[in-house]
Every structure is written in structure tokens, then in C-alpha cells.
Structure 1
Amino acid sequence: MILYSMPTSGNSYKVRLLLALLGRHDVQRIDVEYLTDALEQAKQQGRLPFGKAPVLVLDDGTLLPESNAILCYLGDDTRFMPQSPVARAQMLGWMFWEQNQHEGVIAVRAALRAYPHRRALATPERMAELLERGHDLLQIMEDHLATRDWLVGDHATLADLCLFAYTHSAGARGGFDMARFPAIGAWIERITQLDGFEGLE
């Protein structure tokens, strides 16, 4: 298989993290960073159906876009996929929330700070709005993790890996005040202790 991966993207990182935790070193990786020839080439070759990474190319050539869909494919029948239908639905609920709410605030604020071609959009009003909204979203996670070690069940699932990708860098990259969220901090530490863990580049 081949993974088209954007090195600085949390969405791509979550797939790389799962592969590392599963010991899957058989997947070829092609880096397609923002504003590079490699990204444009991948688009022109039709390798990025939705115009963005990550995309997993299966052995038969099938293209699987969208990070959380890739997580579900790779995580099927592994320790990161709950066996109970209810627990699976709860896991998917967190993963849908990550893309629908969390990623569009936490990741966007970090991107506005990091990528030069997006800095024109980083008005003081927009950044303040994202900061306030991001703290509210992180508080949802904090309240949930205050009474449990993992988002769903008694061990790490795809939901934890999915939300870890942008949450663990929310302070350094997004400027969020992570000292306000000790339960999230402890959860982040637990994930970094998982066998095979690899950090964001």
C-alpha cells in the first residue's frame, strides 16, 4: 500500500501514528506538503480524490481518502476497534465530532499561525474567536476525561488517536492554554506511552 501524507498535517499524522502503533512498516509513504511540486503532481495524477491528503492507496489501486475513514479501514479487527456495537458507535461519535467541530477550530487556528499563505486570514477578531471556541471544545474533552483514562472503554481506541493528532499540539501550534486542561494532559501522556508511539514530525 501507499500513503500520500502531508508531514505537517494532523490528519495525515493520525494515520502515520496508527501505522506505527500497529507495527505496519510495509506501507510506502509519499510526502505531499503544502505548496510543493509533489502535492500538485499527486493532484494532477488523480491520487487525491478530494484534493487533499491523506489518501491510502490499496494494493489493488483503490483510493481511500479522508483520515478517519482510513483509520477505520486500518484499525478493523485490531485492538483499537471496540468489539461492542455500542462502543464502536461511541468511538465513531468522537471521530465525527473531531472532524465536524474540533478540527475546524483547533487545527484551523494552528494553520493560520503556521502557514504563510494563510496568515492574511488571521485577523485579530478571527483568532480571538477561534481561541474562545477552541477552549470550549477542549473543555468538553477535559470534562469527559476527568473521570476516565480513554475516550471510550478501558483502552485506547481510534477515537483517542484521532483526537490526539491536533489536541497534543494545540498549545504549541495553536496557542491554546493547555494548562487549563490537566485531564487532557494526562491523556496525552498515556498515548505517548503506547508501544510503538511515534511523534509528529
Structure 2
Amino acid sequence: MIVYGDARSGNCYKIALLANHLDIALEWREIDVLSGQTRQGWFRRINPYGKLPVVELNTGEHLAESNAILVHLAQDSAWWPAQRLAQARVLQWLFWEQYSHEPYIATSRFWLSISGEPDRYRVQLADRRPGALAALDCLETHLATHHWLVGDTPTIADIALYAYTHVADEAGFDLTPCPAIRRWLERVRSIPGHLPMRTPGPPWTPPCTDSH
């Protein structure tokens, strides 16, 4: 499976982490999100939305949106529960992650630690802070009484939420007051096959660059 992704991105990291747990071989094509590659014609042809990550499946078809990719890969594995209500609860966390967690913590991390222009975003960072703290409080409350997000074993809900929560410090959020989250992060890291977020390699260049 081919992955077009930026290794610094938690949304892209989700795919690498689950694939490692499932022993799925990846060809990683590094795309620098700051370079404008996702706005070029060749990229828009594989994902009209112009967003990372995108995977190219063995069939040659492309699939975008990180949590949709997680659901696709996790089918018939231990990371996707068999019971229908549990499946819905996993989806509930995936939807919440993209609506109530990622827009605050991931975006703040991008502005603060990746953009190279943190001072430019001081107002936006302050605006996003209450939403991020609310998301962390929601997670802390749930994990104070649950070992995993859904059920008694880890699911792709844990992978989806781990991706940006474990780098919350890079978004300016101290997890010291969140003992349940910190214990959960350690449980996720201790699962055999865990893969840390890596440093990006050189950007991949398509054989025929087309910027139109």
C-alpha cells in the first residue's frame, strides 16, 4: 500500500501506526505539507480535497481521510470490534476526534511547532485554547474510568486519539494534570508493534511534476 503523507502529521501517523500493528507493508511517499504539493495538479487528481493522508490501495484505488482509512484497514482485525454497538462507539470517537479534538490540538500544534511562524498565530492559538482544554478534559473524564476508549481491548479509536494527544505538549498543552490520559498513553505505547512518530525524510517528487 502506498501512503502519501507528512510524517509530522498525526493524521498521517495514524496510518503508519495501525499498518505496523497489522503487518501491512507501506511505501511511504513523503509530502511536505508546507511546500504546496497538495495543491498541485497531480495531487488533486488522487485527492480532490487536497489533504493528507491519501493511500493507494492494492487495487490502484485511492482513499483519503485518516479515520476512513483506519476503518478500512481495521476490518476483520482485533482493532475493529465485532459487536455493532461497539463499532458505533468507535465511530463516535472517530467523529468526535475530527470535530472536537483535532481542530484544536492538531491545529495549535501546527501553528506553534510546524509552521515556523508561531508569533503570527498568537491570536488564533489563544482562540483555540478553550476548545483544546475541553477536549482534554473530556478524554480525562472518560479514561479515569475506562482502560481503553471502547471496550476491554484497544481499537482504532485509541489510535486516532493517541495520534495528536501524545504530542499535545507540542501544541502548548501540559498533560501533567491529566493522570488518566498519561496512563492511557503509556498503555498505547506498550502494545507490541507500537511505532513512534518519526522525523520526515526528503519530500517525494512525482515522476512528472504538474502544478496545474
TM over 0.5: yes
* C-alpha contact 2:100 2:131 (8 A) present in aligned 1: no
Residue number in structure 2 paired with 1:16: 16
1:74 & 1:44 partners in 2: Cα distance? 22
Identity %: 37
2:193 & 2:41 partners in 1: Cα distance? 29
Residue number in structure 2 paired with 1:131: 129
Mean CA deviation greater in 67-76 or 35-44: 35-44
- Structure 1 segments, 4+ long, off by >6 Å, are none
Name structure 2 gaps, 5 residues minimum.
199-212
Superposed, 1:39-78 pairs within 5 Å as: 39=38, 43-44=42-43, 46-78=45-77
Superposed, 1:131-150 pairs within 5 Å as: 131-150=129-148
Task: Figure out how many residues of one structure are paired with residues of the other and give that number.
Answer: 198
Superposed CA deviations along residues 137-163 of structure 1, whole A, max 9, x for unmatched, are 100000000011100000100100000
Q: 2:163 aligns with which of 157, 162, 165?
A: 165
**C-alpha deviation, 1:177, in angstroms:** 1.9
* C-alpha contact 1:43 1:51 (8 A) present in aligned 2: no
* C-alpha contact 2:3 2:27 (8 A) present in aligned 1: yes
Higher relative contact order (Cα pairs below 8 Å, separated by 6+ residues)? 2
**C-alpha deviation, 1:178, in angstroms:** 0.6
* C-alpha contact 1:82 1:88 (8 A) present in aligned 2: yes
* Helix, strand or coil at the partner of 1:64: strand
**C-alpha deviation, 1:6, in angstroms:** 1.1
1:14 & 1:151 partners in 2: Cα distance? 16
1:59 & 1:23 partners in 2: Cα distance? 15
Query: How high is the TM-score relative to the length of structure 2?
Result: 0.87
Task: Give the RMSD, CA atoms, in angstroms.
Answer: 1.8
2:18 & 2:97 partners in 1: Cα distance? 16
Query: How high is the TM-score relative to the length of structure 1?
Result: 0.91
